[in-house]
Amino acid sequence: MEENRKRIFSGIQPSGKIHLGNYLGAVRNWVQLQDEYDCIYCVVDEHAITVRQDPAELRRKTLELFAQLLACGVDPERSTLFVQSHVTQHAEIAWVLNCFTMFGELSRMTQFKDKSAKHADNVNAGLFTYPVLMAGDILLYQADLVPVGEDQKQHVEICRDIATRFNYNYGDVFTLPDAYIPKVGARVMSLNQPDSKMSKSIPEGCVYLMDKPDEIMRKFKRAITDSDTERCVRYDRANKPGVATLIDIYAAVTGKSYEAIEAEFEGKGYGAFKPAVGEAVVELFRPIRERTEELLADKAQLQQLYRAGAEKASAIAGRTLRKVYKKVGFLER
C-alpha cells in the first residue's frame, strides 16, 4: 500500500441482492477506484437491521453479497473488504457521534422520511440514527472520498457536518470526506416506474446481478416505454421518461453517448431497442454471476477472506477510536 494514496470508503447493505442501480451507481466505481486509491469496502449488516430481517436470511445474504463484491472485481489483495459487525469499532464510535448529532438534522434526512413512511409499524431509533452509524463507518477510516449513488449524497453531507462539529471541539481528529458520484449511472431508474429510482422495493422494475439471462430479458421487454405516437429512441426525460431510463442504462453499460445511441436505433423503434439493452446487461452480468457461483461453492475460502478483511480494518478503526475516546475524556483502561 503506497502511503500517500487517498483513502476511499464505501458500504453496501446485505438487505437484498446487488441490482443494476447498485452496480452502476456504486460497485462498478469501487472496482475502478482500486487502481488509484487505498480502498476499504464494507458489507453493512448493522445498517440492514434498521428494518426487520430474518436472521438466517441475513446471514445468507451477507455471505452472498460478500461473494458478489469479489466477483464484481473488488480485489482483497489490493483493497480491504469486510463485514461491518466483525469490526466492533463501528458500533462504538456511533455512540460517541450520536452525542454530536442534532435531532433536527436527522429529521431532515430524506431516506429516514421515506423509510419511516414505508415501515410505519417499525419507526425505530436505529432507522433515525442510521446516518450516524454511516458517518462513523466513514470517519473511522479517515476517508477522503465516498463512492455512492446520488441518493446517498445527503448522508455524506451530514457525515461532514458531524466531523466538522467534532473537529471544532477537539482539533483535527477526522478527515472531511467528499461524496464521489459517477457521471453516468448515479441514479438508475426503475424499469416499470421511471419516476422512481431502481430499488429492490419495486422488484418488477429491478434487475439483479444474479438474475438468469431469460429473467433479465423478460424484465427489459416489459419495461415501460411511452405512449407517445412517435415511438422513436430519443432522449427526453421530461416527456419520454421510460425511454430515457433505458437510454441511460444502455449508455452506462456500453459507454456510448446519447447521440450515438439515438443514431444506432434510428428508424428501429422500441421493439429492437428494449432487447438490445437487455442483451447488453445480460453480457455485463453473465461473468459476474458465474464467478459468484464459484466463490459461493467454497465457504472456507470466503471465511478466510472476510476474517482477513476484518483484521486489516480493525487495525485502522482501532487507532481512530482510541483517539476519539481520549479526546472526549474517557479514562484509559
Residues numbered 184-213 forming contacts with ligand ATP, rule: CB under 6 A: 186-188, 197-200
Which of 153, 200, 256, 312 is the catalytic position? 200
- When binding is defined by CB under 6 A, the residue of 71, 93, 109, 134 that contacts ligand LTN is 134
Candidates 18-26, 54-62, 161-169, 209-217 — which segment interacts with ligand ATP by CB under 6 A?
18-26
Q: Give CA 315 to chain center in angstroms.
A: 24
Looking up cell 452525542 gives 99
- Nearest approach, Cβ of residue 52 and ligand LTN (Å): 16
- Nearest approach, Cβ of residue 92 and ligand ATP (Å): 22
Is 200 an annotated catalytic residue? yes
How far does the chain reach from its first CA to its final CA, in angstroms?
Answer: 32
The closest alpha carbon to 289, from 203, 221, 213, 220, belongs to: 213
Query: According to the binding rule CB under 6 A, does residue 13 interact with ligand LTN?
Result: yes
Choose from ligand LTN, ligand ATP, none: what does 138 bind? Cβ within 5-8 Å by kind.
Answer: ligand LTN
Query: According to the binding rule CB under 6 A, does residue 79 interact with ligand ATP?
Result: no
Cα angle at 281 between 280 and 286, to 5 degrees?
105
Candidates 5-13, 94-102, 185-193, 286-294 — which segment interacts with ligand LTN by CB under 6 A?
5-13
Which of 6, 17, 113, 115 is the catalytic position? 115
**Which residue lies nearer to ligand ATP by CB, 155 or 321?**
155
Write b or e for each residue in 75-101: b if 16 or more Cβ atoms lie within 10 A of its Cβ, otherwise e. Answer: ebeebbbbbbbbbebbebbbebbbebb
Query: According to the binding rule CB under 6 A, does residue 148 interact with ligand ATP?
Result: yes
Is 197 an annotated catalytic residue? yes
The closest alpha carbon to 9, from 71, 87, 62, 61, belongs to: 87
| 178 to 132, 160, 167, 200: CA distances (angstroms) | 16, 8, 16, 26
| 313 to 47, 85, 104, 108, 254: CA distances (angstroms) | 18, 12, 32, 31, 34
What residues make contact with ligand ATP under the rule CB under 6 A? 12-13, 21-22, 24-26, 148-149, 151-152, 186-188, 197-200
| Catalytic positions | 115, 197, 200
